[in-house]
C-alpha cells in the first residue's frame, strides 16, 4: 500500500512539471505571435510612408486591431561627408522610425521599433 502511495505521489509531481512546461510553451507561442503581428504592422506602415502618405517631416500615430498602438516619426536626416556639397544634392534623405507597442499599460509592455532611410527628389 505504501508503494502505491509513493508511486501516485511521483506521478502527480511528474504531471505537475509536465503541465508547467506545456503552459510555458503556449505562453512563448502567444508572445511570438504578438511580435510577428507587431513587425508586420510596422513594416506595413513603413512601406506606405512616402507612397500612400507624403514623405514630410512630422509624426503620426494610431491603433491597429484595438491592441497595437503605433507611431511613425519622419524627419530629415543630415549626413554630410566632407566631399559632398549639400547645396548641389538632388535628393533629400529622410529618417523614418516606426514604433509599435502593445500590452496592458504596466511594466510588461512590449514594443517593436523599425528605422529606415528614404529618399525624395529635391524640388528646385
Domain that holds residue 15: 2-121
Q: Is the pLDDT of residue 124 over 60?
A: no
Residue 84 has what pLDDT? 62
pLDDT digits (tens, 9 = 90+) for 95-106: 999 999 998 777
What b/e sequence results for 52-76 when a residue is b if at least 16 CB atoms lie within 10 Å of its CB, and e otherwise?
Answer: eeeeeeeeeeeebeeebbbbbbbee
pLDDT digits (tens, 9 = 90+) for 8-47: 999 999 999 999 998 888 888 988 999 999 999 999 999 9
Question: Which of the 8 DSSP states describes residue 97?
Answer: E
Q: Please, which residues bridge with residue 62 across strands?
A: 70
pLDDT digits (tens, 9 = 90+) for 59-78: 999 999 889 999 999 998 87
**How many structural domains are present in the chain?**
1
**pTM summary value:** 0.75
Ramachandran angles phi, psi of 95, nearest 5°: -100, 125
Amino acid at each position: 500500500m505504501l508503494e502505491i502511495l509513493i508511486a501516485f505521489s511521483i506521478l502527480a509531481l511528474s504531471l505537475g512539471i509536465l503541465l508547467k512546461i506545456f503552459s510555458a510553451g503556449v505562453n512563448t507561442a502567444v508572445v511570438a505571435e504578438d511580435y510577428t503581428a507587431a513587425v508586420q504592422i510596422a513594416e506595413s506602415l513603413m512601406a506606405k510612408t512616402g507612397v500612400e502618405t507624403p514623405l514630410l517631416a512630422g509624426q503620426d500615430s494610431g491603433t491597429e486591431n484595438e491592441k497595437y498602438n503605433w507611431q511613425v516619426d519622419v524627419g530629415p536626416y543630415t549626413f554630410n561627408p566632407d566631399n559632398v556639397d549639400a547645396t548641389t544634392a538632388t535628393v533629400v534623405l529622410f529618417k523614418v522610425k516606426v514604433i509599435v507597442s502593445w500590452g496592458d499599460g504596466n511594466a510588461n509592455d512590449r514594443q517593436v521599433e523599425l528605422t529606415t532611410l528614404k529618399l525624395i527628389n529635391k524640388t528646385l
